[in-house]
Structures are given as structure tokens and as C-alpha cells.
């Protein structure tokens, strides 16, 4: 059955993608601000189908700039990865309905009227977000592997890649270079594979950053609240 939201229609696949999320799952929020959009990671709390979405917004002073931007009707773009057999990134645009501080910091937004779904694969049409190329001597030819950063901290990250014949599985302790776009310019970060897990047709890598790289701080500043 296809549900309707206002004048838009969400497909069954769209609802399946939304229903794959569980309270506590990490999402990426891009919040519209006067100077430049702010991107933060936070927790998905749940939804009331066709009415609203719920997200955790901490009440700590560290989040005050974000909270000040979450005014009624301001636009927020939500992005996250659906793991398992889906192996895809989904994104949707919603509007702020209300921001609560008690009994906990909760952001209530409108329900999405349209969802964009993109598979984890090498593509120049990747969803705007923390998309990265991976350079390694293991890969044959001049083609680099491409993936999406699923989780990020000051020490490392988790990356999801589609399983492809030309991208051999990287074993633990393999040295790699991550390349991502910053203000339309490529930035390189040296790193090492610490672990990997194969989930259907997606492989997830635990990556440790090499210490002392100034660009790690810039990556964190742009995409998280970690300092």
C-alpha cells in the first residue's frame, strides 16, 4: 500500500527505508543558516507516520549555535545510511515544527514528502555528504574505490563500500589514503584499515587516522560537533 503525505506520494520502498531506522541510529542533519549550512551528527528518535519525525538535540552549551538555528519552518536535510541488504544512503528535506528542551532535547520536524535513495557505489553523482575516495596499492589500475563515511570521530571513521570485483577486500593494517572534497578541492588524509565486516554486498571498514594531520580537525569541524 502506498501512503500519501500532502500532495506527494511516498513509495513502498521509501517507507521501507524509513522503517529500517531504529531509535538511537546516527543521522546527519544539515541545518540552513544565514552564512553557511551547519552539519551535525545526532540520534534518530522515531516518527509518527505522515505527521512528524523526531531527533535528539542536546541541551548542552556546545549545541547552542545549532539550537538557535532550529527555528520554526527552517529547513533541515536529513541523511543517513541504511545498512544490511539495502546498502544505501537516504536523504530527505523537512521543516522544523518545534524544539523541546524538557524533558529532553527533542527536535520535531515535518514528515518528508520525498526521499532520495542512492546505493553505495562508485559514482560522481554521490549524495552530497561525506563521500570519499580510497587510494591503495591493492587496487589495480588507476581507479580508486569510492565510499561513504558512516561514522566519524577524531581518531578514525567507518566507511561503507559496495563490493565490486575490481575492489579487493582490504585486509587489516593496510595503509590507505582517504580523499574527500573540501570547498571543491581534494584533501588527503593518511589512514590505516583496522577491521572490516562484510554485510551482503557492502563492506564496512573501521579506519584509524594517522596522528598529526591538520585536515582531520577540519573534517570534524565541517561534519560533526567533535573537537
The three-state (H, E, C) secondary structure of 91-113, written as one string:
EEEEEEEEEECCCCCEEEEECCC
Statement: residue 29 has pLDDT above 80? yes
- Average model confidence (pLDDT) for the chain? 79
- Which of 1-10, 180-189, 197-206 comes out lowest in average pLDDT? 1-10
Statement: residue 195 has pLDDT above 80? yes
Statement: residue 141 has pLDDT above 80? no
Cα separation, 222 vs 219, in Å, equals 5
Statement: residue 65 has pLDDT above 90? no
Q: Which residues pair with 208 in a beta bridge?
A: 156, 192
Statement: residue 154 has pLDDT above 70? yes
pTM (2 decimals)?
0.54
Confidence of residue 5 (pLDDT cuts 50, 70, 90): very low
* DSSP letter for each residue of 209-225: EPTT-HHHHHHHHHH-S
Confidence of residue 123 (pLDDT cuts 50, 70, 90): very low
> According to CATH, what is the number of the domain 4-119?
2.30.110.10
Q: What is the domain partition of the chain in residue ranges?
A: 4-119, 131-223
Instruction: Tell me, yes or no, if the two domains 4-119 and 131-223 fold the same way.
Output: no
> According to CATH, what is the number of the domain 131-223?
2.40.10.220
The three-state (H, E, C) secondary structure of 8-77, written as one string: EECCHHHHHHHHCCCCCCEEEEEECCCCCCEEEEEEEEEEECCCEEEEECCCCHHHHHHHHHCCCCCEEE
Amino acid at each position: 500500500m502506498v501512503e500519501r503525505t500532502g500532495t506527494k506520494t511516498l513509495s513502498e520502498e521509501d517507507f521501507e527505508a524509513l522503517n529500517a531506522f531504529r531509535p538511537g541510529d546516527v543521522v546527519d542533519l544539515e541545518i540552513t543558516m544565514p552564512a553557511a549550512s551547519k552539519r551535525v551528527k545526532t540520534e534518530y528518535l522515531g516518527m509518527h507516520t505522515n505527521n512528524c519525525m523526531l531527533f535528539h538535540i542536546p541541551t548542552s552549551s556546545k549545541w547552542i549555535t545549532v539550537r538557535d538555528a532550529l527555528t520554526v519552518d527552517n529547513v533541515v536535510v536529513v541523511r543517513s545510511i541504511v545498512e544490511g541488504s539495502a546498502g544505501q544512503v537516504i536523504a530527505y528535506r523537512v521543516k522544523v515544527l518545534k524544539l523541546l528542551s524538557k524533558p529532553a532535547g527533542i527536535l520535531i520536524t515535518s514528515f518528508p514528502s520525498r526521499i532520495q535513495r542512492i546505493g553505495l557505489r562508485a559514482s560522481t553523482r554521490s549524495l552530497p555528504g561525506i563521500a570519499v575516495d580510497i587510494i591503495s596499492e591493492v587496487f589495480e589500475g588507476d581507479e580508486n574505490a569510492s565510499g561513504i563515511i558512516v561514522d566519524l570521530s577524531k581518531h578514525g571513521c567507518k566507511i561503507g563500500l559496495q563490493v565490486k570485483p575490481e575492489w579487493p577486500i582490504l585486509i587489516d593494517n593496510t595503509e590507505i589514503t582517504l580523499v574527500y572534497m573540501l570547498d571543491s578541492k581534494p584533501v588527503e588524509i593518511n589512514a590505516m584499515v583496522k577491521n572490516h565486516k562484510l554485510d551482503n554486498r557492502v563492506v564496512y571498514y573501521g579506519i584509524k587516522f594517522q596522528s598529526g594531520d591538520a585536515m582531520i580537525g577540519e573534517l570534524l569541524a565541517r561534519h560533526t560537533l567533535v573537537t
